[in-house]
């Protein structure tokens, strides 16, 4: 088996700033999980240093087992009804102006956790109406009712990751369906419009799993057709030898080319680069 070394453009500095440790302490004191830590995000130092974190709802154990993902899978715990209030308190303590909230997949719940997302958005806005609330949600197994529950809560950005191209779903995302993810984004936009809301929709993809440039272009066209506003594209990094291998490291110049192609399709904002993740520089995506 060939082990690919990270190229120079992938390397990041170890997080050592005082703000990094302060953010980590606040999350620990409030017994909150962050996707920054659970998913081994390479940008944790930069984001924590800017007092930014992506909160992960409903525990740190996922009901799915995607072979690219570092999040633990297995037996899940009951929801904590006090979690939304604790997240609101963390937002206050960190002085955030843009809040990103995601979750593990909770296919064991009838609504996939949609009501918990909505409760968290309401809790944040109840004490801090100014910060923008971005949710990065699972596919809710295609439940339109769950999508509507989240959209009708006070969220500003509805994010759902497509993750990869259709031909790689069976190997990379066996619990998901490409067309289902497109339907999630389409219905979120339609529900927001029907509710008189200007909620933005957002999606992300990992590159370097073996996708072709033409198939990637086709996915971007599909996302444009469902009126997705914001796109993030980043390099897949293998969390451990037990996860899917990296097929290719995409150079920064190619990410820049893809960004130009995507902007020509009409997206409002495109974040594209080797270290980009769904919530990377999220506060800039709506300016």
pLDDT digits (tens, 9 = 90+) for 150-177: 999 999 999 999 999 999 999 999 999 9
Confidence of residue 32 (pLDDT cuts 50, 70, 90): low
* 83-97, 121-135, 261-275: range with lowest mean pLDDT: 83-97
DSSP readout, 168-215? GHHHH-TT--HHHHHHHHHHHHHHHHHTT---EEEEEEEE-SS--HHH
Residue 279, SS3 per DSSP: coil
Q: How many DSSP H helices and E strands does the chain contain?
A: 10, 10
**Which pTM was predicted?**
0.87
Where do the DSSP E strands lie in 8-63?
Answer: 33-34, 54-57, 61-62
Please name each of the domains of the chain with its CATH number: 15-284 (3.20.20.70)
How far is the C-alpha of 52 from the C-alpha of 234, rounded, in Å?
19
Confidence of residue 37 (pLDDT cuts 50, 70, 90): very low
Residue 90, SS3 per DSSP: helix
Residue 97 vs residue 194, higher pLDDT: 194
* 41-55, 73-87, 189-203, 225-239: range with lowest mean pLDDT: 41-55
* 131-145, 248-262, 272-286: range with lowest mean pLDDT: 272-286
């Amino acid at each position: 088996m060939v082990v690919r070394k990270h190229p120079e453009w992938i390397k990041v500095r170890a997080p050592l700033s005082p703000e990094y440790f302060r953010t980590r302490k606040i999350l620990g004191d409030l017994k909150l999980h962050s996707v920054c830590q659970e998913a081994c995000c390479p940008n944790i130092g930069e984001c924590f240093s800017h007092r930014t974190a992506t909160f992960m709802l409903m525990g740190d154990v996922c009901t799915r087992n995607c072979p690219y993902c570092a999040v633990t899978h297995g037996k899940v715990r009951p929801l904590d009804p006090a979690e939304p209030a604790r997240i609101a308190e963390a937002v206050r303590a960190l002085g955030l102006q843009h809040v990103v909230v995601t979750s593990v997949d909770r296919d064991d719940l009838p609504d996939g956790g949609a009501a918990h997302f909505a409760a968290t958005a309401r809790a944040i806005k109840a004490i801090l109406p100014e910060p923008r609330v971005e949710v990065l949600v699972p596919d809710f197994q295609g439940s339109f009712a769950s999508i509507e529950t989240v959209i009708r809560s006070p969220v500003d950005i509805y994010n759902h990751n497509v993750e990869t191209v259709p031909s790689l779903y069976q190997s990379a995302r066996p619990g998901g369906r490409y067309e289902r993810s497109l339907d999630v984004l389409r219905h979120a936009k339609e529900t927001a419009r029907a509710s008189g809301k200007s909620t933005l929709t957002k999606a992300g993809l990992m590159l370097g799993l073996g996708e072709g440039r033409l198939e990637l272009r086709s996915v971007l066209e599909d996302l444009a057709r469902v009126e997705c506003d914001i796109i993030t594209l980043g390099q897949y990094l293998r969390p451990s030898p037990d996860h899917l291998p990296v097929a290719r490291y995409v150079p920064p110049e190619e990410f820049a080319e893809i960004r130009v192609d995507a902007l020509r399709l009409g997206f409002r904002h495109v974040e594209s680069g080797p270290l980009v993740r769904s919530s990377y520089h999220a506060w800039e995506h709506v300016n």
